[in-house]
Structure 1
Amino acid sequence: MPDFYADRLFNALERNDPAPGMLLVAAPGMLSDEFARSVVLIIEHNEHLTFGVNLTARSELAVFNVMPDWLPCVAKPQALYIGGPLNQQSVVGLAMTRQGVDMDTAPQLNRLANRLAHVDLRSGPEEVTELVEGMRLFAGYAEWSPGQLDDEIERGDWYVAPALPTDVIAPGHVDLWGDVMRRQQMPLPLFSTFPADPVDN
């Protein structure tokens, strides 16, 4: 099955390179339970590592219970998201900025794309609230060693696509994986309703 998707979907498509502000979209039929139907926002990509968070895994834990000071900044649903399997004691903040905010003059924000920022949580929420339209907090992250992600992309596990700032604060009822697939070039939109487990289809 992975060979089928790699050959038919990915090798024939124009390739985007991994970079901060890009999305790793799990291939239809990805066999990893951890990353099936996941959408990972790349925060850092260099010769040493690739680091990002999964935007789709909402936990049952309310932000109010773990980081209540940040609640005014956090978009609904105000739950902690699971950014990945590594170091889930650490928290990563991502935000969609308000219209007109210049991230170059805001040290609290690291620009990833237009109106999309990695938030420095060492700043206080009072320094961030007026700069952002909404943000998410992610426990843990995903990381790839040198060459590992390239191998997975070549194998057809991931499709690389530009992120929209609204991806980070998508409402709880939204199927983000399906939405991202629908806005890609054909034939990816045809697979936007592909279930995590093909047996469910």
Structure 2
Amino acid sequence: MAGAKLTGRLLVATPQLRDSTFDTAVILMLSHDDDGSLGVMVNRPTGTPVGDLLPTWSHIASEPGVIFEGGPVDTDSALGLVRVGGPAEPLGVRRISGQVGVVDLDTPTEVVGPAVRGMRVFAGYSGWAAGQLQDEIDEGSWYVVDAEATDPFRIDAHGLWRTVLRRQPGELALMASFPADPTLN
């Protein structure tokens, strides 16, 4: 399926999604197949420290060491992303692409910790039914761009929307300077 190429890539909200849940969202796609799509917003830190909800993972979590809002679906659940080095897939980790994988948060940290070079914990996720995401892409709601291994683990997560757009080729890079309120322009 051509859509499978979305796994491991970023969805970047277009200005069309202003004033919505996904306003300036950057979503790392964790899966995309005939059954639907799933990803997490990687640029929405909360003020809740990882240690408040998952104390055994707090020493592994990347700065700023807080829970991130993964999306509007199942916000009472936690999902962990890790950045691993080397070709081996550590126990408890399912690679998404390159160095980035999803970690089973029930895996003991002493098993996963030595292989991890970065970690984020997300409350909830962003999900789409079969065909729904492709329809949204076709109608111009999302830019689909390549992810860098460091994107989900950046300290300056709030600035990720502009950073990702700025590094794109051609006219897409100009979208990084899109004003927060175009009516004031």
Using the size of structure 2 for normalisation, the TM-score is 0.91
Amino acid at match of 1:63: V
Tell me, yes or no, if the aligned pair for 1:17 and 1:160 is still in contact at 8 Å: no
Structure 2 unaligned regions, length at least 5: none
> Structure 1: how far apart are the matches of 2:23 and 2:61?
26
Q: Tell me by how many angstroms 1:197 deviates.
A: 3.6
Q: Secondary structure at the match of 2:51?
A: helix
> Structure 1: how far apart are the matches of 2:119 and 2:146?
19
Please report the RMSD computed on the Cα atoms of aligned residues, expressed in angstroms: 1.9
Q: Determine if the alignment matches structure 1 residue 68 to structure 2 residue 55.
A: yes
> Structure 2: how far apart are the matches of 1:18 and 1:79?
30
Q: Tell me by how many angstroms 1:120 deviates.
A: 1.5
Q: Tell me by how many angstroms 1:142 deviates.
A: 0.7
Q: Secondary structure at the match of 1:87?
A: strand
Q: Tell me by how many angstroms 1:147 deviates.
A: 1.0
Q: Determine if the alignment matches structure 1 residue 102 to structure 2 residue 88.
A: yes
Count of residue correspondences: 184
Which residue number corresponds to residue 9 of structure 1?
Answer: none
Q: Secondary structure at the match of 2:11?
A: strand
Tell me, yes or no, if the aligned pair for 2:7 and 2:29 is still in contact at 8 Å: yes
Q: Determine if the alignment matches structure 1 residue 89 to structure 2 residue 76.
A: yes
Tell me, yes or no, if the aligned pair for 1:116 and 1:164 is still in contact at 8 Å: no
Tell me, yes or no, if the aligned pair for 1:55 and 1:83 is still in contact at 8 Å: yes
Which residue number corresponds to residue 102 of structure 2?
Answer: 118
Q: Tell me by how many angstroms 1:190 deviates.
A: 0.9
168-177 vs 40-49, greater mean Cα deviation: 168-177
Tell me, yes or no, if the aligned pair for 1:83 and 1:140 is still in contact at 8 Å: yes
Q: Tell me by how many angstroms 1:198 deviates.
A: 2.7
Tell me, yes or no, if the aligned pair for 1:73 and 1:128 is still in contact at 8 Å: no
Which residue number corresponds to residue 166 of structure 2?
Answer: 182
Q: Tell me by how many angstroms 1:119 deviates.
A: 1.0
Q: Secondary structure at the match of 1:53?
A: strand
Which residue number corresponds to residue 148 of structure 2?
Answer: 164
Counterpart selection for 1:59 from 37, 46, 50? 46
Q: Determine if the alignment matches structure 1 residue 146 to structure 2 residue 146.
A: no
> Structure 1: how far apart are the matches of 2:37 and 2:173?
27
Tell me, yes or no, if the aligned pair for 2:12 and 2:143 is still in contact at 8 Å: yes
Change (3 A) 1:195 1:16: farther
Deviations 1:6-46 (Å, cap 9, x if unpaired)? xxxxxxxxx98752211111113423421011101111111
Q: Tell me by how many angstroms 1:184 deviates.
A: 1.3
> Structure 2: how far apart are the matches of 1:52 and 1:173?
16
Using the size of structure 1 for normalisation, the TM-score is 0.85
Q: Tell me by how many angstroms 1:193 deviates.
A: 2.6
Amino acid at match of 2:123: A
